[in-house]
Each structure stands twice: as C-alpha cells, then as structure tokens.
Chain A
Amino acid sequence: MATSTYLSNPVVTINAVDLTDQCSSAVLTRVIEALESTAFGSGSRVYTSGLENNTLTVTLYNSYAVSETYATLKALVGTQITVKVKPTSAATSATNPEHSLTGTYLETLPLVNGQLGALDTIDITFTGGVYSVAIA
C-alpha cells in the first residue's frame, strides 16, 4: 500500500535561525553528479559517481521586521552556512530525520518581490555543502 508524507509541521532552520513560520515550501535534493565511464565494448552507457552537489530551495514570506526573513538572510549572500530541515517538530528520530547541509552557499537573495494584492514571497536556493542526516 502506498504511503505519502507531506510536511505538515516541518522545521526549517537557516544559519541556526528557525524560519519555519515564514516558510511555505522546502525542497532538499541530494545530487551526486554522474560521470560517464562507458568504454568500447559497452552495450549501454555506464556512469560512476562524481562530486556531490546538493541543493535546498525554500519559499519564504519576505518580512523586514526585527528577527524575520530579511534580518536572517541579508548578511548570508555570498557565504557558506548550515541549513537544516526536519519533517516534523517532534524529536529527531529514524522516522523524523533531520537533514543538514553544512557549508552550503547562498548565491542569490531577492530583496523585493512585490505584486499588487499578494504577499511578498521569495525563493532562495542553497547550493553545495556536505549532506548529513541525524536520527537521534
């Protein structure tokens, strides 16, 4: 029987700051680049693992208030930090693993994304870094 999980009450931490209540989407993707190693005599393409190149993309409501989104992110552009995502706010465990990217890089920070009649939201992507998962 198929089961599905959705992030009903996740925890999103950016540079140790909990921005869960400003976040509406988080996509953490683990990527290990494929290096082709196909040689003569092969009947199909063959790949081997290359460098790891993970990404975390989050959608945040933009807020310039004290201790909110802008205050958290403004000094992080062009730096390496640690980000963490956990499916629920319960204790970290094998069924609620905490995923981390350490040394991940923030290249771009949209400062304003204003539209009439809509909340200001920004999508930011953290690239690279060392992936780890905690289960306790």
Chain B
Amino acid sequence: MFKISSERLGKIGDFFDAAAAEKDGVNVLALIAGGFLAETSTKTDPKPAKTDTEPSED
C-alpha cells in the first residue's frame, strides 16, 4: 500500500495503485527512492493479552 507524498505525482495522501502503474510502465521503485511515494502500514497494534484478575476480598 502506497500513498502519494508529492504533488508532482498527484494529490498528497491519495492512494497510489502501484500494480496498475507498473502495468503502465512506471518504475515504482524509482518513485519510492525519489520520495514520491510513502509506504503505509496495514498492521494494527496487537490487542493486549486478556488477564483475569481475581476479585480481591478486602
């Protein structure tokens, strides 16, 4: 997943379809090297492990 990071390529923040661009003969690696694209992470932070705690009897 890539987002546009330069107005020379399109609207900043828009999704960039790298697969379609490569089909059109675009060198996507060169765009990344030149700072025109930013890779966006699809990972989400893992949920914290559930911990059962015994109710205290104070």
* Dominant SS among interface residues on chain B: loop
A interface residues, tally (CB under 8 Å): 18
B interface residues, tally (CB under 8 Å): 16
The distance in angstroms between the C-alpha atoms of A67 and B25, with both chains bound, is 20
With CB as the reference atom, state the residue of chain B lying closest to A82: B25
Binding site for A on B (CB under 8 A): 6-9, 21, 24-27, 29-31, 33-36
B22 to chain A, nearest CB (A): 10
| Residue A79, interface by CB 8 Å | yes
The distance in angstroms between the C-alpha atoms of A32 and B26, with both chains bound, is 24
| Residue A17, interface by CB 8 Å | yes
Assess the B8–A15 pair: CB atoms within 8 A.
Answer: no
Between A and B, 24 residue pairs with Cβ closer than 8 Å are: A15-B30, A15-B31, A17-B6, A17-B9, A17-B34, A17-B36, A18-B8, A66-B6, A67-B7, A67-B34, A67-B36, A72-B34, A74-B30, A75-B34, A76-B27, A76-B30, A79-B27, A79-B30, A80-B27, A81-B26, A82-B26, A102-B24, A102-B25, A103-B25
